[in-house]
Structure 1
Amino acid sequence: MSTYLSLLKTHGVARLMSAQLVARLPNGMLSLAYLLHIERLHHSYGAAGLVLAATSIGQAISGPLTSRWMGIWGMRRVLVLTLAVCAATVGTIALAPTLPVPVYMALGLLGGLSTPPIQPAVRTIYPKMVNSRQLTPLFSLDASAQEIIWVAGPVLTTFVATQVSTVAAILLALLFMIGGGIWFIASPEVGRVRIPRSRRSLGVVLKKPAVLLATVTGFLLIGACAAIEAGVVSAFGEKSPQSGLVLAIFSLGSLIGGLALGHIPIGPWAMARRIFIVFVGMSLAAFSLNVWWLAVTLLIAGIGIAPALAVMFAIVSSSVRFSETAEAYGWVGTGQLIGAALGSAAAGFLIDRYEAPGAFWVAVSLAGLGCLVPMLFRRAHPDLRGRDASPIPDTEPVPVQPS
């Protein structure tokens, strides 16, 4: 814990980490909020799944593209533009009268295209704020805190959607998006660090085995989590507080795992071992929908989530040049966002046919693949034991602008 406390005392780290978490919290809220909102309006999880699929397509396109734009026009310009468009789209979905499903799909697509590239921005800034020895623990701390987004975010969504309304749940996500986005954009570090223009074509960074591995495993891991969230809500009903309780315990497990395992050296088997914990917990959860059984088994599953995310961030950072970091993290973030949307969508279709157990089958399948992929492709996984996780320096000076 002393390592993490030391990091938080480093100038600007706690502030920047808090700002980006608030700004990105809607990433973990909107998939479930859209699922519940569209299902309530059109009485079909399948229709909601189509909206989420359209959103995921937009996110797939935007992640690496807007990340590269930050190297051309600067972080703040790109973040302001995408934030304005995305906020307008989310507000329209929440407040417009009932619209046909294709219109919601078009709005979801536009919202996905304009998702602010905050994760690539902050992952690019981190190596400029701490020394190389502190970088891997910082990624671990950030991954632990990120559980507020991917697990605690749906808890908020579930509580507000069930106790107030689905419109209120979407508007709450919008409030976090705007408030957190402004806070992050106003941070001095966002104006101080300049991302050099990448000399390579879009997508070439995916030829780096570690980047592709992190993108695929992030997609599978977060997809499994999203399916679990949809399954828990379906199991206990939209009006039951038990859903929030189970998901909160899921989040607690991830936080515990991130802080407890974050200091362990990252070897070539690190990713597979951590996701195996998630797979075991989710597999056990699929045996029963009893609230206490789910609480215990998902606590186990959660222990592997934050440590696995920390490994993804570290292997990407250590494998690319600084000018490529934003785009690389854009692809990783895109994988996670698509995973969240498609995991919810697939779970929604199977819930329509098989009820809640169908969502758990989706989650177990995705988690199993998430464990298998890094096992089969462990040679693509860098061995960072005793190595620096900082990005590879560019051959030209990187300008740093005064704040």
Structure 2
Amino acid sequence: MAGYRELLRAPGVARIIAAQLTARFPNGMTSLAILLHVEQVTGSYGAAGLVLAAASIGQAVSGPVTSRWMGVWGIRRVLTLTSAVCVAAILALALLPMELPGYIVFGLIAGTSTPPVQSAVRTIYPKLVTSRQLTPLFSLDASLQEIIWILAPVVITLVATQAGTVPALLLIAVILAGGGAWFILSPEVGRVRIPRSRRAFGKVLAKPVVLLATIVGFLLIGACAAVEAGVVAAFGHDGLEAGLVLAVFSVGSLAGGLAFGHIPIGRWAMARRLAIVAVGLSLTMISLTVWWLGASLFIAGVGIAPALAVMFAMTSASVKFSETAEAYGWIGTGQLIGAAAGSAVAGFLIDGVGPVGAFIAGAAFAVVGVIVAVTCVRGFPDLRGRDVSPIPDTEPVPVIT
């Protein structure tokens, strides 16, 4: 932990981490709030699902695009524009009386305009710390984001059930605006300029490392989404058990990220970390009791944040600085598609064989991830003793001092 204390003492690091976590906090609230609001207004979970699907499609499509825009128009301009549009769309969903097509349109707009904070901050990190500190910083970032997935659903559910779904959406708009402003106005954001990429849009996916990170992210988040569906199916929406088990899952990820963040990343790091996830998820099929699921999902969680840290570090070390934001955008899109696929597969299996089907799906996603990491091990860079900062572009890039 001493290494993390030293890391957080670096100028601007603690501030930028806190600001980006606040700005991204609505990511853990919006889907649930939209689901509850549209279902309440229309009386149909099917209608709510259509709106959520539109929002997810918009976010998946726009992620690489808005991330690339930051190299064209600047980080602050893109984040300000997308934040303003997203807040307006959330307010429209909350306050305007409309039929289902209207909700779908504004859901699509809200998803499409989701601010690319994640791509921005991971592009900024290499300018904040030394190359020795960058891998632990990526690990700390991947670990602390679990706070979003632990607290945000609890907060929004409490507000929606006690005050109503309209106040819940208004709260999201307030946090989105306030957290976004904090991040955008942070000095570190203003001091970093991403050079305009000279390559065509999408060409960064031709890099094996970026493609591997996108595929592995798809499989890892697909496994997590299947597990979430299985936990809810096993314990229902109303009891405390589902929330507690999912919280333990996230706590395991937080613990794993903090524990493994200092370990150098070799070619086999991804395979080993995904193997922990696969073993933990395979154990869930033995019993669906609260205690057994909690223990097995804690084990699985230990590998999640460390695996994400490998994705971020290997991407950073393998692309030019001008391409990092777009690369992270594609990785985010892969994760969003994985979440949709994992939820869909789990849903079909829950209908067919019961809640255990979702855990079978989660384990299968994770096992395939291990197979990909093992068979493509030569495609993963060996970062031990290497500088994991992005490859410099030919034009000079301002560095924070």
Partner SS, residue 318 of structure 1: helix
Letter in 1 for 2:82: T
- Indicate the residue corresponding to 1:361 in structure 2: 360
Q: Which deviates further from its counterpart, 286-295 or 257-266?
A: 286-295
| Structure ranking higher on relative contact order (CA contacts 8 Å, 6+ apart) | 1
Give 1:217-366 correspondences, 5 Å limit: 217-348=216-347, 350-351=349-350, 356-366=355-365
Please give the TM-score of this superposition, normalised by the length of structure 2: 0.91
- Distance in 2, matches of 1:277 and 1:49, equals 32
1:46-74 deviation per Cα after TM superposition (whole angstroms, max 9, x unaligned): 55444333223212221111111111111
Partner SS, residue 11 of structure 2: coil
- Indicate the residue corresponding to 1:125 in structure 2: 124
- Indicate the residue corresponding to 1:146 in structure 2: 145
Q: Which deviates further from its counterpart, 13-22 or 38-47?
A: 38-47
Which ranges in structure 1 are unaligned for 5 or more consecutive residues?
none
- Distance in 2, matches of 1:9 and 1:221, equals 32
In 1, are the aligned partners of 2:188 and 2:400 still within 8 Å (CA)? Answer: no
- Distance in 2, matches of 1:387 and 1:127, equals 14
In 1, are the aligned partners of 2:223 and 2:361 still within 8 Å (CA)? Answer: yes
Q: Which deviates further from its counterpart, 21-30 or 1-10?
A: 21-30
Identity score, percent = 67
Q: Which deviates further from its counterpart, 37-46 or 143-152?
A: 37-46
1:343-371 deviation per Cα after TM superposition (whole angstroms, max 9, x unaligned): 34544555556554443333223222222
Q: Which deviates further from its counterpart, 345-354 or 25-34?
A: 345-354
Q: CA distance change for structure 1 residues 227 and 94 in 2, over 3 Å: closer, same or farther?
A: farther
2:374 maps to 1:389: no
Partner SS, residue 385 of structure 2: coil
- Indicate the residue corresponding to 2:196 in structure 1: 197
In 2, are the aligned partners of 1:282 and 1:297 still within 8 Å (CA)? Answer: yes
User: Paired residues, what number?
Assistant: 401
In 2, are the aligned partners of 1:268 and 1:379 still within 8 Å (CA)? Answer: yes
- Distance in 2, matches of 1:361 and 1:161, equals 32
In 2, are the aligned partners of 1:44 and 1:352 still within 8 Å (CA)? Answer: no
Q: How far off is 1:231 after superposition?
A: 2.7
- Distance in 2, matches of 1:352 and 1:36, equals 22
- Indicate the residue corresponding to 1:67 in structure 2: 67
- Distance in 1, matches of 2:36 and 2:374, equals 36
- Distance in 2, matches of 1:55 and 1:40, equals 18
In 2, are the aligned partners of 1:154 and 1:247 still within 8 Å (CA)? Answer: no
- Indicate the residue corresponding to 2:87 in structure 1: 87
Which ranges in structure 2 are unaligned for 5 or more consecutive residues?
none
Q: CA distance change for structure 1 residues 152 and 298 in 2, over 3 Å: closer, same or farther?
A: farther
Q: Which deviates further from its counterpart, 342-351 or 19-28?
A: 342-351
Letter in 1 for 2:273: R
- Distance in 2, matches of 1:163 and 1:269, equals 48
In 2, are the aligned partners of 1:45 and 1:351 still within 8 Å (CA)? Answer: no
Partner SS, residue 139 of structure 2: helix
In 2, are the aligned partners of 1:45 and 1:352 still within 8 Å (CA)? Answer: no
Please give the TM-score of this superposition, normalised by the length of structure 1: 0.90
Q: CA distance change for structure 1 residues 395 and 272 in 2, over 3 Å: closer, same or farther?
A: same
In 2, are the aligned partners of 1:205 and 1:324 still within 8 Å (CA)? Answer: yes
| Cα RMSD (Å) | 2.6
Letter in 1 for 2:65: L
